[in-house]
Amino acid sequence: MDRSEFAIKVVSPAAFTVALFVIWEVLCRGLNVPLTILPAPSDVFGALWQYRKPIIDNSWVTLWTTLAGFLIATVFGLVLGIAVGWHRALYAGIYPVMVGFNSIPKVAVVPVLILWFGLGEIPAVLTAFLISFFPIVVNVATGLATTEPELEDVLRALGASKLDIMRKVGIPRSLPYFFGSLKVAITLAFVGAVVSETVGANKGIGKLMLDAQASFQVPIVFAGLLVLAVLGIALYAATAAVEARFTGWAFRGQANR
Amino acid sequence: MAYGRGAAAVKAIEDVSLDIAQGEFIAVVGPSGCGKSSLMKLISGLHPPASGVLLVDGKHVDGPLKSVGMAFQNSNLLPWRNALENVLLPLEIVEPYRSGFSKQKYAGKARALLESVGLQGFTDKHPWELSGGMQQRTSICRALIHEPEILMLDEPFGALDAFTREELWCALRDVQAARKVTVMLVTHDLREAVFLADTVYVMSNRPGRIVKRREVKLPRPRELEVTYTQEFQDIVHELRAMIGKH
């Protein structure tokens, strides 16, 4: 990374973030905004430090429920996506059902999950899973369905079976779609876990924020939001790094080769 | 070796009768949509004929022929594989190479083939690092690596500029001369057909049928210079006159 690139990729976003916090701080102090409406960043960071122990404990719960749900969604989405992309009849049959299912707001499903599994981490994991598998299925199926027919002819003329074509062409070809969908899915899984914690749970950042709000400890609520933002960025960045590692060939326009 | 007659269900082609000798280079020309590509799919066994018989090597064709190599206008290389790995693809599918396939075992063979079409030094490049002509050369190598008896080319040079196209004619000419492979070339370009082929077949509009069979007796090896001779031009004119008349 040379100097101008460093300036663009590191200095510029850092400066922008700091500026945002400074403006926020100045506005809160200048306009004398009450702590219970909008705490200044200094108050939020103060709360973050003061309550670091419960915040870390609860972040950990949110993180692992998100990851567990995401992992299940990845495996399930990959299998279902390959199945749907494999066979047109399967595609025609499953797709409308999935669209219907996907259009149900997942927050409405959480009470049912709590009814079945009780308060705890399982509803959060399942909500994260349910909300995040759909984009994976759709992307994998699309990647498989758009294999060039001529390329298929080349292989079929050699006597390749459907499985051969999948293994040699279909699956590698759909990998960029798959990894692209993971970036969307991880964000959704995170949303799902937090939504579930907010509706009903005994642990997690969502639950912590709910409790803090009930007792008007607004700086803790904002500290929770801050932690969520940082976790969200970290999860997204990790997935994007995995994507770049495995599908570098799909980004050939860029200078990362 | 004799190919029989066939007619595709949509009547893309009708009553087409071709006899192709082993090691012969034939070209099929005709207006677009006349069923040239259908004929190719028929012969390769990808589409069964609605009626008639298709014989390759004296045997009925009732499924994809493994002794066929195909290349199209679009090189269709796999972008995640480099040139060498792309060429190796058929060996991962066709017996007897498939069992016991390893990259090391056949890399030499693939590299030699790529070098024979002038791609030395580019074997480790990925498709997007190759020019259009190089991609097409790689695609032809991929069609040849499993030593097919018939090489089927469907407008392989259609998307290339005129100079690159002529370069590739020579590359194809040399590879065919060296390997004695039977080639069926489908093309729009009459000069290309006359320059490369032993026999040129002209097809009519849909439903396609063969309206003309013209042997090209120009001596081999042919240099590009031959395309400027009167004899060459006369053959091209003669073929041109047959197109669109039926």
The H or E element containing residue A110 is helix A110-117
Residues B229-244 as b or e (16 or more Cβ within 10 Å = b): eeebeebbeebeebbe
Give the closest-approach CA distance of A177 to chain B in angstroms: 14
Considering its fold, how many domains does chain B have in total? 1
Say which CATH number the domain at B221 has: 3.40.50.300
Q: Given B41, B90, B126, which is nearest A158 (Cβ)?
A: B90
Give the closest-approach CA distance of A254 to chain B in angstroms: 12
Q: Classify residue B31: in a domain, yes or no.
A: yes
Q: What is the largest CA-CA distance in chain A?
A: 77
Report the alpha-carbon distance of residue A128 to residue A188 in Å, rounded.
Answer: 7
Report the alpha-carbon distance of residue A121 to residue A51 in Å, rounded.
Answer: 22
Residue A148 contacts B where some CB pair is shorter than 8 Å: yes
Amino acid at B161: D
Residue A164's nearest CA partner among B140, B143, B98, B85 is: B98
Residue A164 and residue B41: Cβ atoms within 8 Å?
Answer: no
pLDDT of residue B98: 81
Residue A157 and residue B70: Cβ atoms within 8 Å?
Answer: yes
Q: Which residue of A has its CA nearest to B46?
A: A157
Domain that holds residue B200: 1-67+149-158+182-246
Q: Classify residue B220: in a domain, yes or no.
A: yes
Residue A168 and residue B41: Cβ atoms within 8 Å?
Answer: no
pLDDT of residue B15: 65
Q: Given A148, A154, A172, which is nearest B70 (Cβ)?
A: A154
Residue B79 and residue A250: Cβ atoms within 8 Å?
Answer: yes
Q: What are phi and psi of B204, to 5 degrees?
A: -90, 175
pLDDT tens for the 246 residues of chain B, in order: 334 444 333 455 666 677 777 888 999 887 776 677 777 777 777 776 666 666 766 677 666 666 788 888 888 888 889 899 999 998 888 877 788 788 888 888 888 888 888 888 898 899 988 988 899 989 989 988 888 888 889 888 888 888 888 888 988 898 888 888 889 999 888 999 999 999 998 888 767 778 888 888 888 888 888 888 998 999 989 888 888 665
Q: Classify residue B76: in a domain, yes or no.
A: no
Residue B64 and residue A164: Cβ atoms within 8 Å?
Answer: no
Does domain A43-251 fall under CATH 1.10.645.10? My reply is no
Q: Given B41, B79, B93, which is nearest A164 (Cβ)?
A: B93
Residue A158 and residue B146: Cβ atoms within 8 Å?
Answer: yes
- Whether the Cβ atoms of residue B11 and residue B206 lie closer than 8 Å to each other: yes
Residue B99 contacts A where some CB pair is shorter than 8 Å: no
pLDDT of residue B62: 67
pLDDT of residue A1: 61
Give the closest-approach CA distance of B127 to chain A in angstroms: 10
Amino acid at B181: V
Q: Classify residue B73: in a domain, yes or no.
A: no
Q: Classify residue B215: in a domain, yes or no.
A: yes
Whether the pTM exceeds 0.80: the reply is: no
Give the closest-approach CA distance of A255 to chain B in angstroms: 12
Residue A167 contacts B where some CB pair is shorter than 8 Å: no
The token pair that represents A15 in the structure block: 């400066």
Q: Which residue of B has its CA nearest to A153?
A: B46
Residue B78 contacts A where some CB pair is shorter than 8 Å: yes
Tell me which residue has tokens 């960025």: A233
Residue A252 contacts B where some CB pair is shorter than 8 Å: yes
Spans of chain A, pLDDT less than 70: 1, 248, 250-257
Strand partners, B16: B6
Q: Classify residue B47: in a domain, yes or no.
A: yes
Q: Which residue of A has its CA nearest to B97?
A: A158
pLDDT of residue B2: 39
The token pair that represents A78 in the structure block: 């990959």
- Whether the Cβ atoms of residue A128 and residue A65 lie closer than 8 Å to each other: yes
Residue B65 and residue A153: Cβ atoms within 8 Å?
Answer: no
**In chain A, domain spans:** 1-32, 43-251
Amino acid at A30: G
The token pair that represents A174 in the structure block: 């759909």
DSSP state of B225: G
Give the closest-approach CA distance of A197 to chain B in angstroms: 42
Q: Which of chain A's residues have a Cβ under 8 Å away from the Cβ of B45? A: 157
Q: Which of chain A's residues have a Cβ under 8 Å away from the Cβ of B141? A: none
- Whether the Cβ atoms of residue B203 and residue B36 lie closer than 8 Å to each other: yes
Report the alpha-carbon distance of residue B97 to residue B90 in Å, rounded.
Answer: 9
- List the end-to-end C-alpha distance of chain A, in Å, as a whole number: 14
Q: Classify residue B55: in a domain, yes or no.
A: yes
Interface of B with A in 21-60 (CB under 8 A): 41, 44-46
Give B53's contacts (C-beta < 8 A, 6+ positions apart): B4, B5, B6, B60
